[in-house]
Amino acid sequence: MAYALQQLINGLTLGAVYGLIAIGYTMVYGIIGMINFAHGDIFMVSAFIAVTAFTLLAAFDITSLPLALTAVLITAIFFTSAYGWAVERMAYRPLRGSTRLAPLISAIGMSIFLQNMVQLTQGARVKPIPPVLEGGIEIWQSGGFTVQISWTQIMIVVVTVVLMVAFTYLITQTAFGRQQRACEQDSTMTALLGINVDRTISATFMLGAALAAVAGVMVTVYYGVVDFFIGFVAGIKAFTAAVLGGIGSLPGAMLGGLIIGLIEAFWAAYLSPEYKDVATFAILILVLMFRPSGLLGRPEVEKV
């Protein structure tokens, strides 16, 4: 029982990270109907920015943990959003209105570009940071097994929950959220009503990148090691999460992320860690067979 609880905590932490990245996929799909395959690499870039920021802070001898974390978060969000904006501006906006396939190919190109850029400028070797946040609390002991939740895990879950609340508010209650949902429903009509569609789309990309940046910082702190290839695996898993939850749906992305995190943790715990990816993707296939639009996705209605 204690063992299951521990694996639940592990799965939730992992799922929260997947969810944060998945929102970027789902939001972009919602607004312009394309899969931004470079999103995983945006996440990777943010992890590298975090490593650089941590190193710089250490060089300036700033050791206060809350201060350092906040500084790193702000730096990562700022620069990663800039990346998100630039990617949209350079690789996708010129292709808007062309075939559906063009921006998709452009996105794959962008993904390769970012990976290679980081590999060439930062090197192919892994970049470690010394442990930032160590220790944790023991929450329960049973049958010789101590359930332990580390401070990093608590931080990841808390930050994710706070972000989700803030994000829901942003989308459902603010003027920007209304504009965004309007663009999602009918961008031509929205433009006719005097809303700057291009700017809304740019902002969406920046917002998605900002969430990926938070995930990047969390992953850097949690695992302590980054390399130029982490965006690929994380991106594929997060994309899967978005599809599983129903692409285009924000709560769906989070739910999908959590489900994938939990499947991975429990499959590794009770069955074979070797086959956990097989299990994850098999479940994705099963869900899509019976609910093609994902768990929380709305089926596409032909408008007449």
Partner 1 sequence: MKKTLIATAFLALGAQAQLAHADLAVAIAGPMTGQYASAGDQIRRGAEMAIADINAKGGVLGQKLKLEVGDDACDPKQAVSVANTMVNKKIVFMHGHWCSSSTIPASEVYVEADIPMATVSTNPQVTERGLKNIFRIMGRDDQQGMVAGGYIADKFKGKKVAVLDDKSAYGKGLADEMAKAMTAKGLKPTLRESITAGEKDYSGIVTKLKQAGVEVLAYGGYHTEVALILRQAQQAGLKLTVMGGDTMTNSELVTAAGAAADNVMFTFSPDPRKNPDAAPIVKRFRDAKVEPEGYVMYAYAAMQLFADAATQAKSTKFADLEKTMRGNSFKTVIGELAFDAKGDQKQPGFVVYQWKGGQYDYAAK
Residues from 195 through 224 that contact partner 1 (CB under 8 A): 219, 223-224
Q: Considering the rule CB under 8 A, would residue 107 count as an interface residue with partner 1?
A: no
**Measured from the CB of residue 233, what is the shortest distance to partner 1 in angstroms?**
6
**Measured from the CB of residue 143, what is the shortest distance to partner 1 in angstroms?**
9
Taking CB under 8 A as the criterion, the residue among 85, 176, 229, 281 binding partner 1 is: 229
DSSP 8-class letter at 89 = I
Q: Give 238 or 247: the residue with its C-beta nearer to partner 1.
A: 238
Q: Give 88 or 264: the residue with its C-beta nearer to partner 1.
A: 264
Question: Are the C-beta atoms of residues 274 and 184 closer than 8 Å to each other?
Answer: no
Q: Give 198 or 277: the residue with its C-beta nearer to partner 1.
A: 277
Q: Considering the rule CB under 8 A, would residue 303 count as an interface residue with partner 1?
A: no
Q: Considering the rule CB under 8 A, would residue 10 count as an interface residue with partner 1?
A: yes
The interface region with partner 1, picked from 64-72, 97-105, 123-131, 292-300 by CB under 8 A, is: 123-131
Amino acid identity of 74?
I
Q: How far is CA 88 from the centre of its chain?
A: 17
Question: How many residues are there in the chain?
Answer: 304
**Measured from the CB of residue 130, what is the shortest distance to partner 1 in angstroms?**
6
Q: Considering the rule CB under 8 A, would residue 61 count as an interface residue with partner 1?
A: no
Residues from 134 through 153 that contact partner 1 (CB under 8 A): 134, 136, 138, 144-146, 148, 150, 152-153
Question: Are the C-beta atoms of residues 156 and 258 closer than 8 Å to each other?
Answer: no
The interface region with partner 1, picked from 11-19, 71-79, 91-99, 292-300 by CB under 8 A, is: 11-19
Binding mask 230-269 for partner 1 (x = CB under 8 A): x--xx-----------------------------xx-xxx
**Measured from the CB of residue 52, what is the shortest distance to partner 1 in angstroms?**
15
Question: What values do phi and psi take at 62, rounded to 5?
Answer: -90, 110
Q: Considering the rule CB under 8 A, would residue 128 count as an interface residue with partner 1?
A: yes
Question: What values do phi and psi take at 173, rounded to 5?
Answer: -115, -20
Name the pairing type of β-strands 225-226 and 127-128.
antiparallel
Q: How many CB atoms lie within 10 A of CB 267?
A: 21
Among 76, 84, 70, CA closest to 40 = 84
Give residues in contact with partner 1 (CB under 8 A). 3, 6-7, 10-11, 13-14, 125-126, 128, 130-131, 134, 136, 138, 144-146, 148, 150, 152-153, 219, 223-225, 227, 229-230, 233-234, 264-265, 267-269, 272-274, 276-277
